Structure 1
Amino acid sequence: MTGPRIFVSAAVITDAAGRVLVVRKHGTSVFMQPGGKPEPGESAAEALSRELYEEVGLVVAADALEPLGTFESDAANEPGHRVVAAAFRTTAEPAELSARAEIAELRWITPADVAAMRLAPLSLDHLLALAWG
């Protein structure tokens, strides 16, 4: 599918147990990696650093994020659009994070949880595999 592209930064955040953080925004039913759109003048890593603090309260410097590549999939919440994500890896512990701003819910998931959840195509097609191999 082709369509307008939305450029974002996305985080693959794992905890010590190997679980991956996914979030659900208010008014949606699909879980995805935290992140968002860069503001003018921001690099992808700078945008993600800002978004992680705004969305889940995680403080991580842009240069501490491990680049994973750029990936494209159908957008989860914008029908007919494609999302192009600069993905980065970092770690955190669940007690450090909470749902903030537009985030309604966060979950730490394992591969066993995937089949029972509504997950964004970007997560299913690319990002979860980067966490679990």
Structure 2
Amino acid sequence: MKKNLTISAVCLINNQGQILLVRKRGTSKFMQPGGKPEFGESPLQTVIREIHEELGIQFAAEDLDFNGVWVGPAANEDQTSIHASLFTAHYDGTLSPLAELEELLWIMPEDAMKRDDLAPLLREHVLPQLIKRASS
């Protein structure tokens, strides 16, 4: 039986146009920072809390732009689909992985598409949109 996960994720972009990818401990796929809501949290509240827990960044609601919802396969869990609320924000500082994160990577969207260790949400939706936006 297929499971469904609800998550909120953020696409962090720096001054060079690079996107931040994160890899959680014990997994092989890179994805955007974010996670599952706690009871009663809105998608925006979830992403603000998750970014603070995972990266130590404190965003205000007005720092984040809502980019819609994506439904598709989960990266690290078989027979699971995700319902992801997506946000974009700008960040150009130094970061260290906190909480369950093991690795951080700033990378140009075009270079990220050449990798074979990306979550489906990144490969199928986020990166193509970023590349399309950059070329228009």
Q: TM-score range by the shorter chain?
A: over 0.9
Output the amino acid matched with 2:105: R
Residues 74-97 of structure 1: CA distance to partner in whole angstroms, max 9, x if unpaired? 1011100001100000010141x2
Q: Which one is further off, 109-118 or 40-49? A: 109-118
1:8 equivalent in structure 2:
7
Output the amino acid matched with 1:64: D
Is 1:101 the counterpart of 2:99? The answer is yes
Q: Which one is further off, 106-115 or 119-128? A: 106-115
Alignment of 1:66-105 (within 5 A): 66-95=65-94, 97-105=95-103
- Partner secondary structure for residue 26 of structure 2: coil
Distance between the aligned counterparts of 1:72 and 1:53, measured in 2? 24
How many pairs does the alignment contain? 131
Change (3 A) 1:127 1:113: closer
Give me the TM-score of the superposition, normalised by structure 1: 0.92
Distance between the aligned counterparts of 2:27 and 2:49, measured in 1? 22
Report if the CA contact (8 A) 1:9-1:87 is conserved.
yes
Tell me the percent identity: 39
- Partner secondary structure for residue 12 of structure 2: strand
Question: Post-superposition shift, 1:59?
Answer: 1.3
Residues 5-56 of structure 1: CA distance to partner in whole angstroms, max 9, x if unpaired? 1000010110000000010000011100100011111110110000001001
Report if the CA contact (8 A) 1:73-1:125 is conserved.
no
Distance between the aligned counterparts of 1:28 and 1:4, measured in 2? 18
Give me the TM-score of the superposition, normalised by structure 2: 0.90
Q: Which one is further off, 62-71 or 17-26? A: 62-71
Q: Which runs of 4+ in 1 moved over 3 A?
A: none
Alignment of 1:29-44 (within 5 A): 29-44=28-43
Distance between the aligned counterparts of 1:43 and 1:63, measured in 2? 15
Is 1:116 the counterpart of 2:115? The answer is yes
Is 1:27 the counterpart of 2:26? The answer is yes
